[in-house]
Amino acid sequence: MGILDGKVAIVTGAGLGLGRIEALALAAEGAKVVVNDLGTDLDGTGSSESPAHDVVKEIEAAGGQAVASFGDVSSWDDAHRIVREAVEAFGDLNILLNNAGIQRDGMIVKMTEDQWDSVIRVHLKGHFSMIKHTMDYWREKSKASGGEPLYGRLISTASDSFMMGNLGQPNYAAAKAGIAHLTLSAAREVQRFGATANVILPRARTRMTMSGPWAGIFAPPEDGGFDVFAPDHIGPLAAWVASPHSQNVSGQLIQLWGKNIRVFEAPKAGLEYENDEPWTVDNLQAVLGPYFEDKKPIEDSFALPMM
């Protein structure tokens, strides 16, 4: 018996990496899982059905239930079909964990239109399309029940890069910013169904982190000690946010790595000041100059690269 017994989940990008870990974690707690993955390369090219099928086999070998799905989350029609596949296979849909994404890095001055559009499409439109069709299903289910609260969990995958802006990843950072605020908006909208919407920000070893300039930071420890960035650490967080424990948790951004967890509050003012007269350059300097005097430039502010 698991905390998610009887629940049905879709996990996108579940064939490899964090998505696979999350799908296995939900299944281990009793959820029936739709394992969605196109089996693409890191940049979104190519395709293979093997990763999704392999995860289904892992779940079934452990005594769970799962089916593979190969729809493109950034396709409006495919996203609708993925939701239908969950309902047709298991009779319901309770949990949507959006994880699918690609990486096409580049400095702004060298970035192509296709690099920008493809990352925004897969990450941001992919999250929106899946959220939209899931919420449509919940709305109809709520109407049919006369407005009875339902069990619903929207879980989005973002990154603290959207707060800091990773050098060489402007498209990725922008997409993750959109995902975070899309999910905060969804959290307000799904309240009427009794559902929740939250964002997880994993710091872990993935294809994305191991292909960038910080690969050395995320590599396993050479001494065989505790592996801070092992992706397995993210599984329990995914299961907790998907579980009944999180019923009163919505509109939150939760980050986990190793033995560490952090909850980001909604943006709030760092300085508030009302002037006695209309602003001028001089009186702005009198207020803002001292406030920013000891603050570090953004490139010096964080010792650990964002993901």
Contacts of 140 (CB under 8 A, 6+ apart): none
Of 7, 125, 172, 250, which is the active-site residue? 172
Residue 66's Cβ-count burial label (10 Å; 0-12, 13-18, 19+) is buried
Q: What letter does residue 125 receive in the DSSP assignment?
A: I
Active site residue 129: no
184: its two tokens: 């905060």
Tell me the C-alpha distance between 263 and 111, whole Å.
32
- Extract the tokens encoding 116: 């920008």
At 65, list the tokens: 């239930």
CA dihedral 47, 53, 58, 63 (to 10 degrees): 150
CA atoms within 13 A on the CB side of 89: 21
CB atoms within 10 A of CB 23: 34
Q: Which residues pair with 264 in a beta bridge?
A: 253
CB atoms within 10 A of CB 112: 10
Catalytic residue status for 273: no
Options 125, 151, 176, 243, the catalytic residue: 176
Alpha-carbon radius of gyration of the chain: 21
Residue 196: which H helix or E strand, with range? Answer: strand 196-202
Which of these is catalytic: 159, 161, 243, 250?
159
Q: Is 291 annotated in the active site?
A: no
Give the start-end residues of each E strand in 32-143: 32-36, 66-69, 95-98
The rounded distance, in Å, linking the Cα atoms of 165 and 307 is 10
Give the residue numbers marked as catalytic.
159, 172, 176
